Every structure is written in structure tokens, then in C-alpha cells.
Amino acid sequence: MPTSTVVSRPFAASAGAASALLGAAAGHLVAGATDPATSPVLAIGSTVIDLTPTPVKEWAVGTFGTKDKPLLIGSVLLGALVLAAVAGLVARTRLRAGAGMLAGLAAATGAAALSRPSARPLDLLPALVTAAVGVTALVLLVRPGDRRHGGVLPDAGASRRGFLAAVALGAAALAGTGEWLARARTGPGSLTLPPAADPAPPLATGLEGAHPGISPLRTPTAEFYRVDTRLALPTIDVDSWRLTIDGDVGRTVSLGLDDLLAMDLVERDITLTCVSNEVGGAYVGSARWLGVPIGDLLDLAGIADTRADQLFSTDVDGFTVSTPLEVALDGRDTLVAVGMNGAPLPVQHGFPARLVTPGLYGFVGATKWLSRLTLTTYDEAQAYWTRRDWATDAPIKVAARIDTPRPLSTSKAGRLVIGGVAWAQHRGIARVEVQVDGGAWREATLGPDVGVDYWRQWFLPWDATPGSHELAARATTLDGEVQTAVRTTPFPDGASGIQQIVVSVA
């Protein structure tokens, strides 16, 4: 009688994890060729984001900053590998049950992919490939081997260990190829933007050259903050992409990118701020935007008799944002932007088109990857963040930030410069004041005035003496509002308070 061997428990657990990793990598490869958002780990991660309570989201952004997404992906992957290891242990003695558990994990990723607002039947393909590859690998690794006539892997020795190593290498290769495909399919490519019909004036020389440490007057595109719910950037076919304007309008309008570029484009210098920005935080940036004024686009659809009170915008994957219509049309430079800092929008900042609304936090006025503008009412439609109890009208609060010296830094005694930026979009900055060690407020020197929708650089010379010092800065708007010292959290309409930092002087 032939005898068979059962793999060891450690090997079975490793086999389960490796099989799941190989399956997920194969699914990631398929998603890279179809839609990156349907990649198994990313689909689950996106579902976790949608189901996470608002306080937990704010804690994650505040604690981990831009590392929150990699940490989420890593946590989802780790959790999946633990469950897959359990499946491997079960498969050691009950092969069908273990394989069924692994298939169930893959089915969960398929359900997550199909739960997206823009889901298509094709979005199930990565999950199917994940299940097929993962289950096959598990069966080959853990099924009992016949010592005399053994199948593919006759024992738990060198053959199995070698195959396990091959599985790990294969997973890395598949995942890497999938990531390359996803990146290759995103972005503007060789798109060339036409010149603006209404160009912005040349940008003045900022203070950053004379006073290193102060944020550049214009934020380089590569350093511009990014905060959104996406774990994978969308892949957009420029030739088939359309911007639809509908709802309570005279007629529905559908425009391609070429149609937008053929309109009278304007350039505007505008500072954007994320509502998740804590006092003194980094989620604020200033850029030169090229786009079409929102009023010009809505005029094409006809809104003279509209009952709407909100501009309900939708991105290419169904994510929604509510912008008060009155604010969008009150004369500020609200744009459907197609360019940023002299180049087409990068995909991470909304290519091919995004909404830019001066004076409103991004969650109510800066929809990226825009595909639809619907005129409706707040009673008829609620956007993603509105359903999660964030504010419907969220004007950006006046704020000053200290860029230099850095918090908890140590400097040499003598003449130093305290400097940074201040913003109060659509109202403008009239004054910035600095306080040292709780003393009198001293007025700082302001940098170039680029307009009320743009931040102001500022600096104050300081004769620093040895010891520990507390620095604070506050701003005042052109209409006389002094930045409040009352501390509030970002939820539901933006943080407030005065930044106070401690520095050492040696």
C-alpha cells in the first residue's frame, strides 16, 4: 500500500499565506490591465475606508498623515495573510475546507469591487483570477503526497520548500508587473495645453530665497498635498472621457476634453486647503490653475430658472461632492481646472479635470477626476461627506503657520528669522503677528500680495537668546477678523486655533 505524508503545521500555514499572496498578486496584475481599483487588496481597503466612522478617519489622518493609505493597505494585506494561514492549517487535513476558505477570501474582494458606484461585471475578473491561482497553489502545496507514486510534490521536503519559494518570487513578479501596468495607463501622456485667453500676471519673487525655510510662494506640483479616499488612481481614457452638466438645467450638456480646451481658458493663482488640516498642518498648497470658469460652463446648460441650491459633482468612479451653488457663482474664480503650474493636471491631482473653488475646503469644492456637474438641492441629493455629517458650507478659516524655525528644533543664539505663510482665501490677509514667550504681539513683514485667494508669506527678525522659547503666530483678514485662539478639531468644518511651537536656542 502506498503511504502518504501530511505537511507540517508551520509549512501548511506558510503555504496558505503564500498561496493567498500569489493569488492576490495575479489579481493585481489583471486589475492593472483593467481597473486598478479592483485589485483585491485595494478593493477591500476602499471598502474599509467607506465603512470607517468619521472620528476614526480623522484620527488616522491626524496621526499618520499621508502614510495612512500605505498603513491601511499593509493592515489589510496582513489580515488577509493571517486568515490565509488559517486556511492553510485547515487544508493540511481537510483540503476542500481549506481551499473553500481561501476561495471565500477571494469572493470577499470581488464583492468589494462590485460594491463601487461605477462597478461593471468585468470588475469581478481580478477576484476570479485571485481565487483560481490561490486555490491551485494551495492544493499543490499542502495535499498529502504519495511517497511511492507522489504527484507534483511528493513530500514536504525540498520539493515543497522550493515550490514555496517560487510562489513568493512569482507573487513579487506579478504584483510588480501589475503596478507597472496601472501606472502606465494613468496620466496625461503627451497632452499639450493651449495658452490661456486670460493669463495670470507673472508671479512675484517669494521670500523663500532670502529666508530659507519659508514655504515657496508657489508649491511645486510634486510637493502639493494629496488627501482623498482613493487607494488606486483612476485610469481614464481621454478620448472617451466626458463632462456632463445636468440636473435642473435648461438642457443637458456633454463635453469632451477637447471641448474644454477649445473654450476661453483662464489662469488663476489659488490656494487650496484640506478640511483635515490641523492647526499648523501641511495640507495646504498654492498653485497656478488653468481652467474654464464654472459660470461659463453652466451658461451652456442654462440655469436662469433653476431651483437648485447645490452643485453636486461626481468623479469618474461615483464619488460625490456638494458645493453651495450660491458660493460657486458669487463672482469668485471657481474653475473646472485642466492645468496646474503650467502643465496638464497630474493624475494624482485630478486629471483630466477637477473643480477648484477658492475659499472652500476641498471636501466641498475641489472634486478631482470630475465627470459630472448636477444642479440639484440638498434635500434631493447628499454627497459622500454630507452623509457622514460633515458641514455643507465650509469656508476656510483664517490661519497662520510657522515654517521656520521648526518645532522642537535647536538654533544658535543671535539674529534669527521667524517665518511662514498665512491664508484666508477669498478674504485675504492684512496682517500677521508673532508672539515670543507670551509677550506682546509684534507685526511681521508680509511677502508678495498675489491676491485674496492666495496665501501670504511673512517673516519677523528675532534676536534669539539661549534657552527654550515658545513661539506663536496669528493672522488678520482684510475685513478685520483676527484668527481665533479657540481650538477646534477638523470635524465638521475645519480646525481652528493658534499654532504654538517650542524651540531651543543654544
Residue % of the chain over a pLDDT of 90: 74
- What is the DSSP secondary structure assignment for residue 212, as one 8-state letter? T
pLDDT digits (tens, 9 = 90+) for 342-383: 999 999 999 999 999 999 999 999 999 999 999 999 999 999
Average the pLDDT over 325-354 and give the result.
Answer: 96
Are the beta carbons of 481 and 426 closer than 8 angstroms?
no
pLDDT exceeds cutoff 60 at 2:
no
List Cβ neighbours of 202 (8 Å cut-off, separation of 6 or more): none
Peptide bond preceding 121 in cis form (omega within 30 of 0)? no
| Whole-number pLDDT of residue 152 | 43
| Whole-number pLDDT of residue 389 | 92
pLDDT exceeds cutoff 80 at 164:
no
Cα(260)–Cα(244) distance, integer angstroms: 12
What phi-psi label fits residue 480: left (phi over 0), alpha (psi between -120 and 50 degrees) or beta?
A: left
Given the C-alpha cell 483585491, which residue does it identify?
A: 40
Alpha helix segments (H runs only) across 351-443: none
Are the beta carbons of 322 and 356 closer than 8 angstroms?
no
Alpha helix segments (H runs only) across 311-380: 325-328
For 91, the grid coordinates are 487544508
Cα(226)–Cα(270) distance, integer angstroms: 16
| Whole-number pLDDT of residue 166 | 79
List Cβ neighbours of 131 (8 Å cut-off, separation of 6 or more): 23, 102, 103, 106, 107
List Cβ neighbours of 422 (8 Å cut-off, separation of 6 or more): 398, 399, 400, 401, 429, 432, 455, 456, 458, 473, 475
SS3 of residue 413 by DSSP? coil
| Whole-number pLDDT of residue 3 | 47
Cα(303)–Cα(71) distance, integer angstroms: 45
Domains and CATH numbers, the chain: 4-184 (no CATH), 221-388 (3.90.420.10), 399-505 (2.60.40.650)
SS3 of residue 214 by DSSP? coil
- What is the DSSP secondary structure assignment for residue 176, as one 8-state letter? H
Cα(84)–Cα(102) distance, integer angstroms: 6
Pseudo-torsion of CA 100, 106, 107, 110, nearest 10°? -170
Alpha helix segments (H runs only) across 217-354: 257-262, 294-301, 325-328
Residue from 315, 328, 317 nearest 368 by CA = 315
- Find how far residue 211's CA is from the centre of its chain: 31
Cα angle value 324/308/454 (rounded, 5°): 25
Average the pLDDT over 460-488 and give the result.
Answer: 97
Cα angle value 412/416/417 (rounded, 5°): 145
| Whole-number pLDDT of residue 160 | 63
Cα(393)–Cα(395) distance, integer angstroms: 6
pLDDT digits (tens, 9 = 90+) for 434-454: 999 999 999 999 999 999 999
Average pLDDT taken over every residue of the chain = 91
pLDDT exceeds cutoff 50 at 175:
yes
* Number of residues that this document lists for the chain: 506
For 316, the grid coordinates are 469618474
User: Between 395 and 37, where is the model more confident?
Assistant: 395
Average the pLDDT over 409-434 and give the result.
Answer: 97
SS3 of residue 46 by DSSP? helix
pLDDT digits (tens, 9 = 90+) for 18-69: 999 999 999 999 998 888 889 998 899 888 888 888 777 777 777 777 777 7
Are the beta carbons of 274 and 321 closer than 8 angstroms?
no
